[in-house]
Each structure stands twice: as C-alpha cells, then as structure tokens.
Amino acid sequence: MESWKAIAKSKQEALKAAIPPEWVIPAHLLPPEHQADVTSFPRQSGWFTTRELEILSALAPRILAHIETGSWTSEEVTKVFCKAAAAAHQLTNCLSEILFDEAIARARELDEHLRKTGKPKGPFHGLPISLKDNFNIIGKDSTVGFTSLVNDPATYNSTLTDLLLDAGAVLYVKTNVPTAMMIAETVNNVFGRTVNPRNRNLTSGGSSGGESALIAFGASRIGVGTDIGGSLRIPAACTGIFTLRPSFGRFPNLQTRSGLAGQEAVNSVNGPMASTLEEIALYSKAVIDQQPWLNDPKCLPIPWRPTEPKHRLRFAVMWHDGIVTPTPPVARALQETVHRLRQAGHEVIDWAPTGHQELRQLLQRKFVADGGKSVRGLLAPTGEPFREEMEDYEKATELGVHAMWQIHLERNSLQMEYLRRWNEAGIDGILCPTTPYSSVEHGKFAYVGYTGVFNVLDYSVVSFPCGVKASKMLDGPYQSHRALSEVDDRIQRDYDASAVDGMPVSLQLVARRLEEEKVLMMTGVVLQAVTSGVKSKL
C-alpha cells in the first residue's frame, strides 16, 4: 500500500504539472518569500498585459455584457482567469484541481454558440466560475483533504455543477479545503496550507479558504463555497470579501462530497463568494431563476423575490456572544458601523447573546456524534494520521440514537426560543462580528461560535467587509480585559496588533430564515451608511 505521504507528493506534483509552462511565473518576477501582501502582483509585476488587467478588474456583470456584445470572447476571458489562477496558486497554494484545457475548450464552444444563435446560453454565458473542492466534476477528484480520495475521480456532476454549466458558466478550477472541511483554516495532508494573499503570514480561513484566497487575489470574480459552521463566512472575513450563507433549500446541494456524509442534524449549504455585493446578488438571483428545485428534491420552490430598500430599518447589535470578546479591530469596526447606521436614521438596539452558549455546544456535539467514525474511515485506507486540529474527532465517543434524538429536541427548542425573541424585538436583522478576528496567524484560529450558531438556527447571513481596517496604532490589546471564558482569555493573549495591521475587518448581518433577498438588501443599506453616512440618501 502506498503511504499517504507518497500519495500527497504525487498529487501535488500532478497539480503543479497541470500549469502550462507559459503560466509559470518567471523566477525573476516571483515576490520574495518574506513579502506578505501579494494581491498587487497582477498589476505591478508586468507579467499581465493591459488588456488582461482590464478583464481581471471588470466585475462579473461587465464581463457578461462584453461577451454578449462580442467585444470580448469567453475564450479570451477564460484564458486570462486561468493565467491569474495559476499565479494565485503559485503564491498562495489555493487550488486543488486545474481544468484549464477543459475550460478553454468549453469557452470556445460557448463563443461558437453565441456566433451561431446570437443568444447567450444562459445568465452566466462565458463567465469563469470557481468551485470549492467538494463539488463533483466528472473526471476530477474531490479529495476534501483526504489522501484516500486521491485518484478517485467523480463519475457524476454535483447538481450545482450541472446547473452552472446549463447556465453557461465556464468551470476552470477547484479550490483547496481543510481535512474533511471541518477546520477553520485551510490546511490538509494532501495539498498543505493555503495562505492569505493579503498577508501570507495569516490564514485565509476555512473551510472555503482556497476560494477566498483565489478571489481576494483577483483570480476569480465569483466562486462557490459551502458552510456548515461558518465555512463561507470565516474565509470571507479573513480575506475581506463578501459571501452569502443562505438558508438550507435555496441553492442545490445534492451530489457533493462530504467529510461527514449523512450528518443532517445541521445541514451544509453552499453560496457565492465575491469581491462585491453586486456579484453576490447576481449569482444568487441567477441560480434561483434556474429553478433548482426541479433537480434537487431538497430545494424549496421559492422564486427570487426582489426586495426594495426600506427607508428606516431596525437593527439589533450583538457586541459579543457572551463567550469570546471580539479582538480590538473588530470591536472598533462594530462600534463605527453602528454609529454610521444611527447617523443615517436607522434604529439600533442591543441584542443579548441568550442561548448562544447552548447553540454553540449543540453544534459541536452534532459534528462528533458518530464518534469520529466518518473521518477515521477516510483516514484509515492510507494510514493517514489525524491532524492536531481534528483532535475532537479523534477522541469523540459515538452517541446512540436516543441521545441524538434528544439533541434534535434541544435544537428545536433553541430555534423556537430565538424566533420568539426575534418576534418580540421586532427587528429586521442582527449585526455582529463574523469572527473575533480580522484575520489571524496560521494555527491560531480558535473560535467559530459567532458563525456556527446561525447554522443551527438556519438563518440567512451575509458577511461583508465594513470599510474598517485593523490598525496597530488604534487597535492595541485591551488594557484591562475581563475574560468571558478560557478561550476568550487565550484569544486576547494571542492577539498581535502588528500582525494584522492593515487587514480589512468584516461583520455579519443576520436575517430570518429564507430571507436571502432581504439580507442582501439590508447589507446594501449598511454599506451605503458606512460609506456616506448621509441621512438624506435613504
């Protein structure tokens, strides 16, 4: 039996070899290893032409318009994004599968379709879209970070894969994930660690951290990730991009690979990641307009419901969750955002973190309810060891059916109580940290409670960069901090203002269940407030 290390080495070499020679960064242009921020590489290296940079800087709606009018071809656009993705991978280790040849052939087919018919194939005609590793594409691996799943190519597409292809998308890369997609940083024994292109000393988050790194670098306009405890929102926050965590049933989730297959006490969902809110909304509407419920029995037949901005919104702000205090840059960002909202004429009330400890603990119990059997079963065939980040799975004890039923009852009770509080407060949404961090050094991401509770509740959530950047001058450590918990004490002790200096800070805006349209609208209102603060514009 081939050892797991040999399998990993072979897979890494195959991935490297899939980059054509003309897209290998010349040695004299490579940023030095000590250079933290590599997001300027496409613009400053001289390796990309003016035309290529114009395409990379265009938002998805503009790219689609250029392709439809014929001023750009899908082939040209696809080649540019393939080149950029190759660069992103060489600088951040963000990819798991490379589909450049297939993507270019697909783009040519779409260009020919448009030439012959005069009509685009669908709402994503010719647009390159990146996918997280767990989405199946026929003929490609979906390792989800396990060496035992290397050289096990998919024999069928995920439902979303087919939907995107039917809508005219070009699929050109799949992106790296942590082992089983159950670590808040993107690191596994197959591909190693993905780093943050804004600061390579920091994590890109997890589990959709390959996507977040690719997008933050500028090598994808729209990517798709998944979220079962924060796996869209955490990496989006770490890299300063946007994402939508939808409620279960809005987007198709069928026929994807999972590290915890069959675990449905809390459902995984997928959603878009992008550099702008406009692109998140474009993707969301286009996918739902494809009527995914016709191909996924768990999708709800709810069409897209346009939502007009309200003149005055009623927000609740949760300053902390009662377990971990947000680090200084996140606390400052939340304060400044609330101030701007009030200046703009919106109402903001305080929100107590009632039930958050119970919700957080419930989520963790669900993840390890099988005693770690699912993860162990995927590690065993190659002798791959548990990573230290997966210690909870290694030591877990399997729950019986009765105990699992009690967890379901507890979940239902907590959901009911949260709904009651929401109704009594009469709020439109909750504003709170996405994570306690702006980002954090590798190996130090210690808490997912801010995101995970809303997975148990199944609420619609947007994580968004709020315009504040961490500052070592403004965001020094708390001088007299009273820790809320042991993990809070550790996080505050580990906090290094210099390490995250200049990093964007994200917050999350939470709506009720199945309010994707409303939470996107409300996020736009918040962004308007923080960028203008002008009351008359609302």
| Marked catalytic residue, from 11, 79, 83, 132 | 132
Q: How far apart are alpha carbons 320 and 337 in whole angstroms? A: 15
Half-sphere exposure of 473 (CA within 13 A, CB side): 2
Evaluate the omega torsion of the peptide bond into residue 207 and state whether it is cis, within 30 degrees of 0.
yes
**Helix axes 74-92 and 50-57, enclosed angle (nearest 10):** 90
Distance, CA of 283 to CA of 129 (rounded, Å): 10
Q: How far apart are CA 217 and CA 91, in angstroms?
A: 9
Q: Which residues contact 323 (CB under 8 A, 6 or more apart)?
A: 353, 356, 357, 360, 447, 449, 484, 485, 487, 488
Told to judge if 3 belongs to the known catalytic residues of this protein, a careful annotator would answer: no
**Cα–Cα distances in angstroms (integers) from residue 331 to residues 100, 320, 327, 335, 534, in the given order:** 42, 9, 6, 6, 23
Catalytic residue among 231, 438, 439, 463: 231
Q: Is 273 annotated as a binding residue?
A: no
Nearest to 429 by CA among 313, 309, 305: 313
Catalytic residue among 148, 207, 212, 460: 207
Tally of CB atoms within 10 A around 278: 15
231 is in an annotated binding site: yes
132 is catalytic: yes
Structural contact between residues 347 and 314, judged by C-beta atoms closer than 8 angstroms: yes
Known binding residue 374? Answer is no
d(CA 357, CA 367): 16
CB atoms within 10 A of CB 158: 25
Whether 230 has a binding-site annotation, put simply, is: yes
Q: Scan for tokens 């992008």, then name that residue.
A: 274
DSSP H stretches of helix in 93-137: 100-117
Identity at 374, one-letter amino acid code: S
Beta strands in 403-474 (DSSP E): 429-433, 461-469
- For 44-64, b/e burial (b = at least 16 CB within 10 A) is eeeebeeebeebbebbbeebb
268 known ligand binder: no
Is 228 annotated as belonging to a binding site? Answer: yes
Give catalytic status of residue 96 as yes or no: no
Provide the pairing of β-strand 429-433 with 314-317: parallel
Is residue 536 exposed (0-12), middle (13-18) or buried (19+ Cβ within 10 Å)?
exposed
The continuous run of DSSP H or E covering 26 comes out as none
CB–CB of 538/344 below 8 Å? yes
What CA–CA distance (Å, rounded) separates 376 from 394? 8
Q: Phi/psi at 62 (nearest 5 deg)?
A: -70, -40
Angstrom distances, CA of residue 415 to CA of 410, 412, 455, 515: 9, 5, 11, 16
Please identify every residue annotated as catalytic: 132, 207, 231
Binding residues are 181, 207, 228-231
Binding residues for substrate are 181, 207, 228-231
